[in-house]
Amino acid sequence: MAAEQKAIPVPDERTKPYWDAAKEHKFVLQRCTACGLWNATPRVICPRCHASDFEWAQPSGKGIIHSYAIVHQTTAAGFQDEVPYVIAHIIPIEEPTAFIDGNILIDEKDFDKLNIDIPVEVVFEDRGEVTVPQWKLA
Ligand SMILES: [Zn+2]
C-alpha cells in the first residue's frame, strides 16, 4: 500500500492571497487598513474596529511559542512516518492576538530545546502544488 499523502490546503477566495504568497516563500497575514490589526485567520469585519477594508502585508515571520505538543501517535494522513513531531501555537511578534498554529520543524534530538516563550521563525514546506508555512527555532 502506498504511503498516504499529507493533507493539501485548498485555498478559497478569502485565503488565496496567503497561499499565493506562501508559494513564493513569503509569509503574509491580513491586516486591517483602518486600525492595523493583524489577523491570522482572514476576516470580513475587523474584530477590533469593525472596519471591512484589509490588506495582505508581510510581517517579520518571527514569533514565540505560546504552547506546543509533541505528537507520538497520529492517524493524520501522511504524518505516520514523521512521529514524533511538534505542533505549536505561535504568537507573531507584531500581533500578540493573532495566534497561528503550525508545525515546529525540529529533530527529535533537539526536543529538549523546546519551551514556552522561545523565539521561532517561519520556514516553508513545499507540498506539491501548495507551500505550507511552518516554523523552526530562531
Ligand atoms: Zn481594525
Q: Letter for the amino acid at 55?
A: E
Answer whether residue 8 is part of any domain: no
State the distance from the centre of ligand 1 to the C-alpha of 47, rounded, in angstroms.
7
Answer whether residue 57 is part of any domain: yes
Query: What are the grid coordinates assigned to 10, written together?
Result: 485548498
Segment holding 21, helix H or strand E: helix 16-23
Average the pLDDT over each of 6-10, 26-30, 65-69 and give the range with the smallest value: 6-10
Q: Which residues make up the environment of ion ligand 1, defined by Cβ < 5 Å?
A: 32, 34-35, 37, 46, 48-49, 51
Domain span at 109: 16-137
Answer whether residue 11 is part of any domain: no
Query: What are the grid coordinates assigned to 96, written together?
Result: 500578540
State the distance from the centre of ligand 1 to the C-alpha of 116, rounded, in angstroms.
29
State the distance from the centre of ligand 1 to the C-alpha of 85, rounded, in angstroms.
36
What would the mean pLDDT of 45-53 be, rounded to a whole number? 97
Binned at pLDDT 50, 70 and 90, residue 89 comes out as very high
Q: For residue 67, what pLDDT is reported?
A: 97
Largest CA distance in the chain: 53
Average the pLDDT over each of 24-28, 66-70, 90-94, 100-104 and give the range with the smallest value: 90-94
Query: What are the grid coordinates assigned to 133, written together?
Result: 508555512
Answer whether residue 22 is part of any domain: yes
- In the chain, the number of structural domains is 1
**d(Cα 114, Cα 67) in Å, to the nearest integer?**
10
Binned at pLDDT 50, 70 and 90, residue 2 comes out as low
CA distances from 45 to 17, 67, 68 (A): 17, 27, 29
State the distance from the centre of ligand 1 to the C-alpha of 36, rounded, in angstroms.
6
Answer whether residue 4 is part of any domain: no
Q: Letter for the amino acid at 84?
A: P
Q: For residue 3, what pLDDT is reported?
A: 62
Which has more pLDDT, 106 or 128? 106
Q: Quickly list DSSP for 45-90.
A: S-TTT----EEEE---SEEEEEEEEEESS--STT-GGG-SEEEEEE
Answer whether residue 1 is part of any domain: no
CB 59 within 8 A of CB 27: yes
Q: For residue 128, what pLDDT is reported?
A: 85
State the distance from the centre of ligand 1 to the C-alpha of 50, rounded, in angstroms.
6
